[in-house]
Amino acid sequence: MATKATAGMGTLGVIALAFGLASFQVLGEWNAFNVGNLVLGAGLAALGTVNAFRRLARRTTHADRGPTIEAGLTTLAIVWGAVLVQLAVAHWGPRFDWTFEQRFAIAPATASVVKQLGDDEGVRLSLYGMQGDPRLRATRLLLEQIANEHPNAYSDERDLDLSPEDEDRYGIGSSNSVVVRHGADGGDRWRLVERPTEGALFEALAQLRDPVRRVLYVAAGTGEGDLEQTDDAGFSGLRAALETEGYEVRPYPSAVHPDVPGDASGLLVIAPERRMTDEALAGVRRYLDERGGRLVAFLEPGRASGLEDILADFGLASPDALVVDPVTGAIEGDSPGTSPIVNAYADHPVASGLNRNRMTFFRRARAFLPRKPRPDDRVGGAVYASGESWLYDAPAKLRGNETPARPADARSDYHALVAAGQYERGGHMARIVAFGDSSFASNRYLRALFNLDLVMNAVHWAVEREAEISIRPKSGGLLQFPVPVQTALNALYGVGLLLPELIVMVGAWVWLRRRSA
């Protein structure tokens, strides 16, 4: 009976330790579940070991010692096997990432920029730290993983106390800082990253790329979204993202200078609150028709900016109606269904890399009805609400969280929230991407889910920079606002594992009892 109890305690201890370590690896943080499991598992394993040694000391016959010695040798074999596996992992460096957000895998955008810099004279990532800083290990692993993306990328670690010249040259103010250098000798151009998440390192690497920047003009003067405004309703985050990825952002005061400047790589118009002047609209039309212009436009339901007529002429008609998607509940005080959470994407470069597990979030959006104006044009939707969505044709009448009443003749369909078109005009190739929502790209929502990737990929496609289309790193994991997916996952990987753990423990105990019967 004592042997059965000893084996049971050891087995249950191993199970508890396994669940505790698995929970910590997935979450990357300690919580009551994984700490409790580790304490319980270590206690049970220790009790089992002590009981086993006590029984071994009391054995007097060879027949009695045999089973206990066999169990001890089996335990030693398991321990040494684990040690050998650990040594093999340390030598060959395989890594596994089973987290929902792929937290421990390098994002495609990071890998792409490292390849570009590696092909262009190389890049070095130097970690400066002080002994005893517990953050260094995680940063070191991150740098090694990034450096592994290209033979001409290198990472090293330096003692900050022994590097006073570098400290002064780069302005290093604290331990766990990274200097990213690029050039013929690995140091001609550099950026300092004092909080080295993958997102921050990606931005630093991106800023070291080709210094030739594309000029992107942003319409201003009729109540468009403000790229200088830093509060939640502003678009300063979008400006920072554009500048990070190689754009020089300039204002386009359309009412004063209706013609789009000749050095424009593209034109960005963010939901004017008032109708643009006829002269400005004529200038946008000339830019597209005569010069093969590149336009990224954000509309809003209940607003008439004048762009709607131009987009309709290019096959991107957008009725002034609000998309209501019953699949999505009430969010941020809005009525249910008026803020679609989207995971339906077309096979289009604008939505490249997005799938059912990479959602985007729209708050009160209008839809597009793509249709080719000419046979050779290429026009279509890129992002869709669910097949249950329908259109409410009086968005301006809604107040607060009022629920729109569904008309009897409302038709459910996959309504396009983002549409794109490519057109040969005047010997040039024009491109347009239109969004049915502007708050999608505001400071409040730009980094929610995969919104940033969709916006930046749309801009890259419009200005014909398809090589830059990618999925960017999520600093510190996904910002899961307004849907608290991470909160749900924390519960799943914590208390949510309790039931399967108990089932495994009960099964192990029953198996041990039957085996010893």
pLDDT tens profile 62-75: 555 566 566 556 65
The proportion of the chain whose per-residue pLDDT surpasses 90, expressed as a percent, equals 54
**Residues 275 and 360 both lie in one domain:** yes
pLDDT tens profile 13-27: 777 777 777 766 655
Q: Has residue 485 been placed in a domain?
A: no
For residue 286, give both structure tokens. Answer: 């000339």
- In angstroms, how far is CA 159 from the centroid of its own chain? 32
**Residues 88 and 130 both lie in one domain:** no
* pLDDT (0 to 100) of residue 22: 72
**Residues 67 and 174 both lie in one domain:** no
- The whole domain housing 68 covers 2-97+500-516
The single residue listed with the structure tokens 């960005």 is: 268
Name the least confident of 37-46, 187-196, 302-311, 365-374: 37-46
pTM of the prediction? 0.72
Give the pLDDT band of residue 491 (cuts 50, 70, 90): low
DSSP 171: T
Per-chain mean pLDDT for the chain: 83
Q: Which residue has the higher pLDDT, 203 or 102?
A: 203
**Residues 172 and 138 both lie in one domain:** yes
Q: Which residue has the higher pLDDT, 338 or 12?
A: 338
**Residues 282 and 179 both lie in one domain:** no
**Residues 122 and 257 both lie in one domain:** no
**Residues 352 and 454 both lie in one domain:** yes
Judged against a pLDDT cut of 90, whether residue 479 lies above it is answered with no
For residue 73, give both structure tokens. Answer: 């040798």
Q: Has residue 259 been placed in a domain?
A: yes
Q: What is the Cα–Cα distance from 110 to 112, expressed in whole angstroms?
A: 5
CATH of the domain at 387: 3.40.50.880
Cβ atoms 449, 478 nearer than 8 A = yes
- At position 139, the amino acid (one-letter code) is T
**Residues 196 and 247 both lie in one domain:** no
Q: Has residue 290 been placed in a domain?
A: yes
**Residues 131 and 267 both lie in one domain:** no
Q: Has residue 268 been placed in a domain?
A: yes
Q: Has residue 427 been placed in a domain?
A: yes
**Residues 74 and 117 both lie in one domain:** no
**Residues 282 and 411 both lie in one domain:** yes
Q: Which residue has the higher pLDDT, 181 or 3?
A: 181
DSSP 60: -
Q: What is the Cα–Cα distance from 107 to 105, expressed in whole angstroms?
A: 6
Judged against a pLDDT cut of 80, whether residue 173 lies above it is answered with yes
Domain boundary among 159, 189, 207: 207
**Residues 427 and 458 both lie in one domain:** yes
pLDDT tens profile 95-107: 555 444 455 578 9
Q: Has residue 440 been placed in a domain?
A: yes
Q: What is the DSSP string of 225-253?
A: PPTT--STTS-HHHHHHHHHTTEEEEEEE
Number of domains in the chain: 3
* pLDDT (0 to 100) of residue 334: 77
